[in-house]
Structures are given as structure tokens and as C-alpha cells.
Amino acid sequence: MGHEHGHHAASASGRHLRALALSFGLIAAFTAVEVVVGLAVGSLALLSDAGHMLTDVFGVGLALVTVLWVHRRTPSPRHTFGLYRAEVLAALANAVLLVGVAGFIVAEAVRRLADPPTVAGLPVLLTAGAGLIANLVAFLVLRAGSQESLNIRAACTEVISDTVGSAGVLLGGALTLVFGWRWVDPVVAIGVGLFILPRTIRLGAQALRILIQSTPGHLDPDEVSIALTQLDGVADAHDVHLWTLTSGMEVASVHLTAEPNTDPVTVLNLAQTLLADRFGLEHATVQVEPVNSGARCRVPHW
């Protein structure tokens, strides 16, 4: 029908690559510090925070590697949409990992409540304070990207959980230092785990909705169909499909029935302009079927 396709735009994750790299460096450095101090003083709360930060190192690193890999792999005959969907798989992997770590920490903390160990409060306090600063910086760096990219939102969710974890450990270290309460350490670990779990589950559910090609939440297929039907020269819109390739990349396919004596190319251009300008669907495959030509689309058996 004579229309042109541009190159794939960079995904939302790719636009925030520098933020991912900076966050990765910060988190990796302070994870090492927390592991060393946590093992030295026997603090489960500090080790739980280090465990969460270790998942951040893996998660943010996975997001970073995925973005670098995806954006170097252009669409090909074997991967006609490129490999952008790998960003969603990375987000799902991060969610699964964080659920596992949070569940383990909660279980271990519950076990320790029966006989809380003695924990040195001052080293925990100082280390948690440094970790809190690192997490806050990483959160501020990733915040903008998390509004656009599910992959970066996964990394940001992990950083948020670590921020809360560090704040909890900071409080626990202070209480242990002042009052000598041994039970504070496992209780803080339980609180951090329970805070993380629901947010991580929601993140995983978002990734799954993309992977099973659900309609993006901000789009309504009926609204799209009605808008297309109201275009000059369009008699009917049917077989409308809307899905997300990766964060910031919504895709559509639609069949239009053109009215008699209507130029199909004109209908095509009007439809693609509407989909891009009104609904943000810049990659839309539109099939135009003249009403009297008999060239109706075939209904699949599935």
C-alpha cells in the first residue's frame, strides 16, 4: 500500500542505560561491605539487607546486560521484532529472584525468634546508614526511568526494597545498641521481607501480562475500533489486536473495511496517523479490505 516503516525506536530501558550502570556500581560496592560486616557481627537483619542488595546486583546487572544485548541485536529474518521481549523476561526473573530471597529471609528470621542471637549494634548501625545512602542515590537515579520501563521498574523496586531494608536495619541497630533487645534483629528482617513480597508479586504479574500479550492497560480495543470506524472512508474495523512488545513499545494490527470508491492508501494513511497520534501506536499493521472486492480476512481456526 505504499507506506514506509522507520527503524525501531530505542526502548524505554535503552534511554536510561547510564542510570542503570551508575546504580549497578553503587549497589555492588555496598553489597560487599554489608556482607563482610554482617558475617563479622552475626546480624541476620544486616545479612538479609545484604541478600536483597545482592539480588539488586544481579537484577540491575541483568537489566543492564539485557539492554546492552538487546540494543545491539537489530531485527533480523529470524527475530523480526528484535529481542526487546528479553527485557520483560529480565524483569520477571528479577521478580522471581526477589520473592525467593524475601521468603527465605522471613523463614530464617521466624526460626531465629525462638533464640535471638546477640548482635553488635554499632557496626550494624554504621553499615546500614551507609547502605541507606547508597540506596537512596540509586533510587533517585532510577526513578525517572521506572516510570517508562518495566525492566528499570524491576530494578527500582529492588532498590526501594533495599532502601526500606537499610532503614529497618538502621532502626534495629539503634534499638539493639541502646536497649540490647536481641529480638529486634529478626523482627526487622521479617518486616523487610513482608514489605517486599506484595510489590514484587505485582511486578512479576505485570511482566507476565506482557509475555502473554495482554492488551496494554491504558488502551481499550473497543475505543480503538470505534475511532477507526469514524474515519472517512472506513465502513468497519475488525480483528483488532493490541499488545506490548516491551516497555514503551505498544504494537497493533487491525483490519479495515473501506467504503465503495474509497482509495485504500488514503484509508491506510488516516488509520496509521490516528493510531500513532491518539493512541501512541507507532507500529501498526493495517489491512484495508475494499467492501465489494470479496477480499475479506480469513478467520483462523484457533
What SS3 state is found at 30?
Answer: helix
Domain-embedded: residue 267: yes
On whether both 198 and 275 belong to a single domain, the answer is no
Per-residue pLDDT of the chain (302 residues; tens, 9 = 90+): 444 444 444 555 556 677 778 888 888 888 888 788 777 777 666 676 676 677 677 777 777 777 777 666 566 677 767 677 777 887 788 788 878 877 877 887 788 777 766 655 567 677 777 777 887 888 887 777 766 666 677 777 767 777 777 777 777 767 777 777 777 777 877 887 787 788 788 888 988 998 999 999 889 999 999 999 999 999 999 999 999 987 778 899 999 999 988 898 999 999 999 999 999 998 899 999 887 665 566 666 66
Per-residue DSSP letter, 16: G
On whether both 164 and 31 belong to a single domain, the answer is yes
On whether both 133 and 253 belong to a single domain, the answer is no
Domain count, the chain: 2
CATH number at residue 136: 1.20.1510.10
CA distance 39 to 226: 62
- Asked if 182 and 176 count as a contact pair (C-beta separation under 8 A), the reply is yes
Among residues 211, 242, 263, the one where a domain terminates is: 211
Domain-embedded: residue 197: yes
On whether both 111 and 245 belong to a single domain, the answer is no
* CA nearest neighbour of 120 among 40, 24, 38, 41: 41
Domain-embedded: residue 300: no
Q: Residue 51 sits in which domain range?
A: 14-211
CA distance 265 to 276: 17
Q: Strands 234-246 and 249-258, how do they pair?
A: antiparallel
On whether both 63 and 157 belong to a single domain, the answer is yes
Among residues 211, 230, 261, the one where a domain terminates is: 211
On whether both 191 and 49 belong to a single domain, the answer is yes
Whole-prediction pTM value? Answer: 0.68
CA distance 123 to 34: 10
What SS3 state is found at 19?
Answer: helix
On whether both 207 and 245 belong to a single domain, the answer is no
